Structure 1
Amino acid sequence: MTAGKLNTFVWLHPSQGDALREIARKNVHAEAAWIADQRERLNLGPDDPTPEAVRRKALSLRSGTWPGASHLVEASMRVRLAAPDLAGPWQPLTPDERETQRLAGRRIGTPNQHFADKIAVDIAPDIIDAARLAAYRVSEPVIAQLRAENLIGSGASRSRAARARREELQAQIYTLGCIAREAINRLISS
Structure 2
Amino acid sequence: MSSTFPLARKPKLGYRIEEVDEFLQVARRAYDGRPLADDPPVTAESIRLTAFGMQKRGYATAQVDAALERLEDAFAAQERRSAASLHGDEAWLREARTTAQVVANRLARPERARFDRVNPLVLGYHVGEVDRFADKLARYFRDGWPLSVEDVRTVTFTAQRGGYREAQVDLVLDAVVDVMLAVR
Q: TM-score range by the shorter chain?
A: under 0.3
Larger Rg: 1
